Structure 1
Amino acid sequence: MANASRIKEIIEKLYYRSRKRVVILGHSKGGVDSAAALSIYWNQLKDKVVGLVLAQSPYAGNPVASDILRPGLLKHVNFRKEVVEIFMSGILNGDLRAIEDLTYEKRMEFLRSYPLPREIPVDSFHTETCNIDFLKLRYREKSDGIVTRKDAEAPGSVVVRSRRKLDHAWIIRPCLNEDPREANNSQLIEALFTLLVEVADRKGRLLLAN
């Protein structure tokens, strides 16, 4: 809730400074927090936001979070240490308090209370790593090494499923030694924004028609 409130404040500052609607890109848990801000404060933000791009975000939750807090499941100290380190470094940026928020139970509870309004244009982008990662070994789920593909799709969003083998951090890394035959992360973000604007335009026309 605190992160959602802070994001709302930032959106309002950007809008009042430029008088232009804001396009939001939320990566990883940043996407979850951005979606929460729009869900909770949509009445205040609907005239200030174009839409939301969820990039590799655990929108539906994360199996590691659920495992960490499931009584009796993580009995082995080394296993617990391994998954906590992966989860903390990949998603939470050191915030232990946020683990519970990303369990499937808590995410379902939150989304029942604060679903994304249908009029919000949303793109969901997710990838799969080329490595044999922990989530695939333990849960048999395709993932970018941190977020499973199935958990990264927000209901009602336009989903972009990358065929390239890209890990969770690719989209935020500096563009070094990129293959000129493939789009780099900056070009991908630009394409996701362009798609979002097209989705927003389409939704706007549908709302006017109705």
Structure 2
Amino acid sequence: MNIKCRGEQFILNKERAIYWPAKHMLIISDLHIGKTAYFRKSGIQVPDTVGLTDLQRLTSLIKEFHPENLLITGDMFHNKINSDVNAFMEWRRSYSNLNVILIKGNHDTLRHEDYLALNIDYHAKELCCAPFRFIHDIPEEIDEFYNISGHIHPGIILYGKAKQQLKFPCFYFGKQQAILPAFSIFTGLKIMKPQKGDLVFVLTPNKIIQV
């Protein structure tokens, strides 16, 4: 789905990503590489294919859009180096020419040398690329930049014909900020309550629906 945001064209993709053609940039949030291995180490049974599925989806997006830049607005990683991160290292070698930019989130606790080894350019707090500020969480102060963040894993409830409640991830565009859905499929949802003028784009398994 093509939309306009602050005069810029964005392409919303049902795989929980935005493509910004003017900057040749693919934008995602909350990839949480290493989360499944972290849970397994804690004794919680999670299929190791979950993380691989996320990387496969990311690969498909790169083949579709051919971006020069991949921007992650926080929580690219979930914890420390583990088997899931090692799988990402192999993936990274296949796309060594891709410029990967990370805005560090609360789960991004790798060492400086780890990011260097993965060829990741990271920013501790934010990245301003007019007219947008890319940041992990919504900032407290509002200025001339339109904020694009992640962190809370936004979702929305739709009601079926039998009045059943169906929960889906969504892109949420407010007056001063946009919130991206978590890219990883192994995440929960924070149900949003849209205000007048807000735009919500729901991600169903087959398509994007504006509600």
- Choose 1 or 2 for highest CA Rg: 1
The alignment's TM-score, normalised by the length of structure 1, stands at: 0.31
The alignment's TM-score, normalised by the length of structure 2, stands at: 0.31
User: Which has the larger share of helix?
Assistant: 1
